Amino acid sequence: MAGAFRIFAKLGFADGASGHISLRDPVEPDTFWINPYGVHFGLLTVSDMVRVDAQGVRVGGADKLINTAGFIIHAAIHERRPDINAACHLHSPFARAWSNFGRPIDMLNQDSCMFYGDLAVYANFGGVVFAKEEGARLADALGPTTKNIILQNHGSLTCGGTVAEAAAFFIALERACHCQLLTEAAVAPDGSQLKKTIVGNEEAGYTKRTTGSPEVMYMQFEPEYRLILKETQGDFLT
Conformational region of residue 153, where left means phi above 0, alpha means psi within -120 to 50, and beta covers everything else: left
CA distances from 144 to 75, 151, 169, 176, 190 (A): 15, 17, 18, 23, 37
Band (pLDDT 50/70/90 cuts) for residue 43 is very high
Residue 54: phi, psi to the nearest 5? -65, -15
Instruction: Tell me what pLDDT residue 146 has.
Output: 98
Beta strands 86-90 and 120-122 are unpaired
d(CA 67, CA 35): 8
- Domain spans, the chain: 2-232
- Cα torsion angle, 110, 114, 120, 121, sign: negative
d(CA 135, CA 203): 34
What confidence tens digit (pLDDT) does each residue in 173-215 have?
999 999 999 999 998 877 667 889 999 999 999 999 999 999 9
What confidence tens digit (pLDDT) does each residue in 89-123 have?
999 999 999 999 999 999 999 999 999 999 999 99
Superfamily of domain 2-232: Class II aldolase/adducin N-terminal domain (3.40.225.10)
At residue 156, the 3 state secondary structure works out as strand
Band (pLDDT 50/70/90 cuts) for residue 9 is very high
Band (pLDDT 50/70/90 cuts) for residue 234 is very high
Instruction: Tell me what pLDDT residue 13 has.
Output: 97
